[in-house]
Structure 1
Amino acid sequence: MLDLVLSKFIKNYDDIKNPQVRSACGNFSGVVGIILNLILFSAKLLSGILTASISVTADAFNNLSDAGSSVVTFLGFKLANRPADEEHPYGHGRYEYVAGLGISCAIILVGVELLKSSIEKIINPEESTAITLLSVCILIGSICVKLWMFFFNRAMSKKISSSALKATAMDSLTDCIATSVVLIGLGISAVTGVNIDGWLGCAVAGFILYTGISTFKESLSPLLGNTPDPEFIDEIREIVLSTELITGIHDLLIHDYGPGRCIISFHAEVPYDVDILKAHDVIDRLERKIQEKYNCVVTIHMDPIAVSDEYTIELKEKINESLDSIDSALSLHDFRIVKGEEHQRVLFDLVVPPECKLKETDALNAVKEKIAQIDEKLIPIIHIDKICLECGGNIKL
């Protein structure tokens, strides 16, 4: 159904990897939101005036704030699609996240104002609100429209992987609940004569504030830098390890500059005894493959690994077993040996992730003790490596 609608308005609507198409989808969602929310605002405001209900009026202004949010969403996608320039070499993709913050602030402001109005009505109660057939039809129609908008925006968010549209979808679902509460309250007032309008207004304001705060957190997270999608990391790992010559991958970093705009870097392990020109060609082709598939910038560092030396393999396995006995969260990469006449230097990066129970220095000392137990002639040279939660992560192999 969604594809049928998009095909009528967006050319090449299915090419979501294309930034132009993605922006067009976001703009279309924004326009739909503006139109429908303005219609709902007008209808509910009329109903609120007819019934003299603060909760219905509060719900109407909630829809007005949603219309404003849709405007910000539209502008956010427009600005995010601007090309890179001298001052912003990585493009303007994060405008979409900034737009989400603006939407959140507007929602929170409306929620605060409506909460104040509702509290005033609780302190100074009025007569029970009147209920009319027109107001009931308007509210039921509003619930149906908002439910459709929830499914529409949720489908759009999944199609183009947009956190902004996901937040919009949840906002629509919250509106369905809020309007249902208002409708139930009007029914209770009509049957019992008890005016709970102010309390229901507080409930609606609470829903609005909850949505605004949740949206704010979700929009702020990618600006600060959050953990990449595990599925995306798995896809990268699968592509890399299915490439000829490459035996491992580590130090994967993903820098997010907006949806569909990221920089990926990692270390690819290759046998140390292969032809350097052939290995370089494999790395070049892998960079182009990932770049074309995900529309991103890719940088790969090539690490030569001794994959055929039996002593190196055996020693690495022993040290890995020692790491597991210390803490299963520990891992290593870039393992190599420099042989001397009396001693052998063992060099590797020790990954100490946040879930490790030991402090870095304690983990380092424990690993050195284990290596000394394996062979006193081994001199460990260990570099502590951390998983970068803000912009990516290491893959434990």
Structure 2
Amino acid sequence: MHSSSDPADRQQRYREVRKVTLVGSAVDFVLGVAKIVIGWFANSQALIADGIHSLSDLLTGFIVLYAAKHSHKSADEVHPYGYGRIETLATVSLGILLTGVAIGISYEAIKRLNDPAVAMDFTLLALLIALLSVISKEWIYRYTMSAAQRLRSDLLMASAWHSRSDAFSSIVVLIGISGVMLGYPYLDAVAAVAVAAMIAKIGFGLVRSSTLELIDVALDPEKVSTIRQHIHAVHGVRSIHTLRTRKSAGSAFVDVHIQVDSRLSVSEGHQIGDSVRRRLLQHVEEVTDVTVHIDPENDETGSSCNDLPSREEVIAELKQRWPQLPVASVEAMTLHYLSGAIDVELDLPIEILRSTDEAKYLVQELKQAISALPYINAIQVRFKV
């Protein structure tokens, strides 16, 4: 029993990711060009470098758009679980990119710290554009992060942090300006190293979390506990075992075995499993795919019925030991494979009986035949009109 997310929902999610990314990319382009132009006129190497950093966010936007477009494709025969892992791979790439940005900022900062002659000529215009950059990039960060949390997208979250890293680099420029004005030019380098460490930590965290997702790490214990509670709340579920969860691009997949009454019909067992599936999809926001396996007993440590004969073999032995077995009763035979043995329910047509004594004789004869089969635990005979 299997379920997956609605294609319409995936398309809506892609449209929201695209909107957020395009808005951020437009701001990045305007800021990047403005910083480079004003930095060139103001003779500010730091502002020019900051402008190049802003333009590098356009690459981030391209990665996000590409991953979002392809990761939201519907599942097919080649990728039965969908393309969500493309988004996960893109998140790893952005985490590595953030770490690279941090290393670059640290390198330039240490170089300036070791070479006091590398000075920056700031103007009021350079100060204003740096301040505007901080405000704009912080706004992009909050706008993108809000969408990332709403859509449960690690990819957008990585993009948001990349935007904030640009805001951090602009703060470094502002600190450098203040340091130059106050006669402490080394403050620029010290602040840059501190900011770079923060960016590297964020990048490493994104790489780590997305890598864990690629190797199918389970959801958080709290979320798994919530899933268990919802499954137990479904009437007819006796117990749960072999509950497995995994994350894929903001969605969660659940695979669970539930134990039901061993005497239920196949259709009723299926109905209980379908109720479990619907409840998880409705009440656990992350869950978009559920597979439910119905068990008549707990087989978590292995099935106790692996060595038992098939239905055809059981019928063949019964016919051999009880030649009078009516052909019509074969189709009405129900077998219950439980606890390493078989319980048999046999419905016989009442037309084969001529008297009560004959009924007793048939049942006794059948029980004698059954007793010779060691794998039969019990038998129930019913005569039906």
Number of the residue aligned with 1:77: 68
How much does 1:163 deviate? 1.3
CA distance in 2, matches of 1:226, 1:216: 14
Number of the residue aligned with 1:92: 83
Q: Is the 8 A contact 1:55 1:200 kept in 2?
A: no
How much does 1:144 deviate? 1.3
Number of the residue aligned with 1:298: 291
Change (3 A) 1:142 1:209: same
Change (3 A) 1:107 1:65: farther
| Runs of at least 5 residues in structure 2 that lack an aligned partner in the other structure | 1-5, 305-338, 341-385
How much does 1:30 deviate? 1.6
Alignment of 1:18-57 (within 5 A): 18-57=9-48
Change (3 A) 1:65 1:238: same
Spell out, residue by residue over 1:60-114, the C-alpha distance to the aligned partner (whole angstroms, 9 max, x if none).
3332232211211111101101233443222211110111122233333344344
Change (3 A) 1:55 1:124: same
SS of corresponding position for 1:296 = strand
CA distance in 2, matches of 1:273, 1:77: 47
Number of the residue aligned with 1:283: 273
CA distance in 2, matches of 1:336, 1:200: 63
CA distance in 2, matches of 1:278, 1:86: 30
How much does 1:279 deviate? 3.1
Q: Is the 8 A contact 1:129 1:195 kept in 2?
A: no
Letter of the 1:23 partner, please give it: Y
CA distance in 2, matches of 1:246, 1:197: 63
Letter of the 2:292 partner, please give it: T
Change (3 A) 1:122 1:228: same
Q: Give the TM-score normalised by structure 1.
A: 0.64
SS of corresponding position for 1:108 = helix
How much does 1:334 deviate? 8.0
How much does 1:207 deviate? 4.3
Spell out, residue by residue over 1:284-342, the C-alpha distance to the aligned partner (whole angstroms, 9 max, x if none).
4433554677431422232437xxxxxxxxxxxxxxxxxxxxxxxxxx988999xxxxx
Number of the residue aligned with 2:320: none
SS of corresponding position for 2:82 = coil
Change (3 A) 1:292 1:242: closer
Change (3 A) 1:63 1:193: same
SS of corresponding position for 1:18 = helix
Q: Is the 8 A contact 2:88 2:248 kept in 1?
A: no
CA distance in 2, matches of 1:134, 1:166: 32
CA RMSD of aligned residues (A): 3.5
Structure 2 counterpart of 1:141, from 127, 132, 135: 132
How much does 1:190 deviate? 1.4
Q: Give the TM-score normalised by structure 2.
A: 0.66
Number of the residue aligned with 1:166: 157
Number of the residue aligned with 1:267: 257
CA distance in 1, matches of 2:107, 2:10: 43
Q: Is the 8 A contact 2:21 2:65 kept in 1?
A: yes
How much does 1:33 deviate? 2.0
CA distance in 2, matches of 1:335, 1:204: 54
Q: Relative to structure 2, which stretch is displaced further, 49-58 or 74-83?
A: 49-58
Change (3 A) 1:193 1:298: closer
Letter of the 2:259 partner, please give it: E
CA distance in 2, matches of 1:247, 1:219: 35
CA distance in 1, matches of 2:123, 2:188: 15
Aligned residues: 299
Alignment of 1:339-354 (within 5 A): none
Letter of the 2:244 partner, please give it: L
Q: Is the 8 A contact 1:247 1:270 kept in 2?
A: yes
Number of the residue aligned with 1:185: 176
Letter of the 1:71 partner, please give it: F
How much does 1:244 deviate? 1.5
Letter of the 2:56 partner, please give it: S
Q: Which structure's CA Rg is the greater one? A: 2
How much does 1:204 deviate? 4.8
Spell out, residue by residue over 1:146-182, the C-alpha distance to the aligned partner (whole angstroms, 9 max, x if none).
2212221221111111112223333334443442232
Q: Is the 8 A contact 1:150 1:173 kept in 2?
A: yes
Q: Is the 8 A contact 1:82 1:91 kept in 2?
A: yes
Q: Is the 8 A contact 2:213 2:246 kept in 1?
A: no
